Amino acid sequence: MQLPAPFPASRPRRLRRDAFTRALVREHRLHANDLILPVFVHEGENRVEPVASMPGVSRLSLDRLIPVAKECVALGIPVIALFPVIDASLKTPDGIEATNPNGLVPRVVRALKEQVPELGVLTDVALDPYTSHGQDGVLDEAGYILNDRTVELLRQQALVQAGAGVDIVAPSDMMDGRIGAIRQALEEGAHIHTRIMAYSAKYASAFYGPFRDAVGSRSNLGKADKKTYQMDPGNSDEALREVGLDLAEGADMVMVKPGLPYLDIVRRVKDEFRVPTFAYQVSGEYAMVKAAAANGWLDHDAVMLESLLAFKRAGADGILTYFALEAARLLKDA
C-alpha cells in the first residue's frame, strides 16, 4: 500500500469534517436488499406467540405470516427464511416428519409462493425441529450422530421443499457430503433452479440458545451439544476447507454462522473464494442487543445498524438477521 504523505500534508480528519464528505467517501453501505428475515412458523390460525428470549420475535401461524411477507416486499427485503415449530406429537428419533410433503414447511412454502410470489423463500434443511432428541441427525446406540443415514433424510427433506416450490434450500446440519447429495437429488428431480445456500462454516456455538427456545428444541436437547458435527470455535482454516468442499459439491452461496464473533471468518472466506457469502446474525446476538437496549445501556437502533454494516465491511453479501424488518424500516426513512 502507498504510504500517505506525512502530517500536515495528510490530515485524515478533512474527510470526516462534514456529513457530505463522509457520505462521499464511505466505502460500505447497508441496504434492505442485503437482509434476509428468519421467521418462526407454527400450525393454526391467528396464533402469535412471543419468544421470551427474543423480544420482538414471535412464532406465527401462516395467516399472520402473510402480512409480514408482504411488508418484506414493500421494504425491499428479498428473502425470508422459514423455521418450523413442530408439534411435539410429530417429533421422532429419526425426524421423519421433515420429509412429509404435506408437512408444515411445504404447506407454508406453497402458500407464500402463491400469495407473495415476489418474495424469495429459503428453507432450512436440518432435522432438529423434527427430532425427539433435538439433534440435527439420526443417532446410533451410543448417541453418535450417524452421517450417511442423516444425509439420506436431508436429501429427501430438500426434495420435498423443492417440490413445494422453495427458491433456496439451506442445509444447516453440518453433515459431511450433504451438499453433493442434495445437489444430485435436485438435478435428478428436475429442480435445476433450486439454489443451495450452504451453512458451510457453522460453529458449535452457545449463541444459538434463544433459537432453540423458539423452535422448542432446547428441552429435547437437554445437556447434549452438537460438537461432533458443528465446527470448533477455535478453528479458522477448517472453515475454508468446509467452504471449498461445499462449493465443489454444488453450493451456489455459502454462509458463516454465528455472525459478529466470526467476522474474521467471513473476511477470509470472501477473500479466498470470491463467491456470494452470507453471515447469520444469530438469536443470541439479537438477544444481547435487545437486553442491553431494554436496560438503557445501548442505543438500540444505532447498535443494530452499526452491527449490520460491520457484516458488509467484513465482506458479506447479505445477512440473515432478526433485525431485518426494523433495520429496513429505518433505512427506508433515512
Q: List interacting residues with ligand PBG (CB under 6 A).
A: 124, 126, 128, 136, 172-173, 208, 211-212, 226, 282-283
Residue 12 vs 155, nearer CB to ligand PBG? 155
Q: For residues 120-132, b (16+ Cβ closer than 10 Å) or e, as one string?
A: bbbbbbbbbbbbe
Q: Which is nearer to ligand PBG, 70 or 261 (CB)?
A: 261
How far is the C-alpha of 276 from the C-alpha of 273, rounded, in Å? 9
R_g (Cα) of the chain, nearest Å: 20
Q: How far is the CB of 261 from ligand PBG (least distance, A)?
A: 12
C-alpha cell at 7: 502530517
SS3 319: strand
Measured from the CB of residue 80, what is the shortest distance to ligand PBG in angstroms? 14
Catalytic one of 91, 202, 226, 290: 202
CB of 128 to ligand PBG, least distance (A): 5
* Closer of 116 and 130 to ligand PBG (Cβ): 130
Q: In sequence order, what E strands does the chain have?
A: 35-41, 48-50, 58-60, 79-84, 120-125, 138-139, 145-146, 168-171, 195-202, 253-257, 277-281, 318-321
In angstroms, rounded to a whole number, what is the distance separating the alpha carbons of residues 215 and 226? Answer: 16
* C-beta nearest to ligand PBG: residue: 211
Query: Between β-strands 79-84 and 35-41, what pairing exists: parallel, antiparallel or unpaired?
Result: parallel
| Cβ neighbours of 10 (radius 10 Å) | 11
Nearest CB to ligand PBG, comparing residues 82 and 164: 82
* CA count, 13 A, side-chain hemisphere, 182: 40
Catalytic (active site) residue 257: yes
Backbone angles phi, psi at 84, to 5 degrees: -85, 145
CB of 328 vs ligand PBG, minimal distance in Å: 18
Opening angle at CA 288, ends 122 and 299, nearest 5:
105
Q: State in angstroms the smallest separation of the CB of 74 from ligand PBG.
A: 24
Catalytic residue among 70, 91, 223, 257: 257
Which residue's CB is nearer to ligand PBG, number 135 or number 277?
135
Residues classed as catalytic: 202, 257
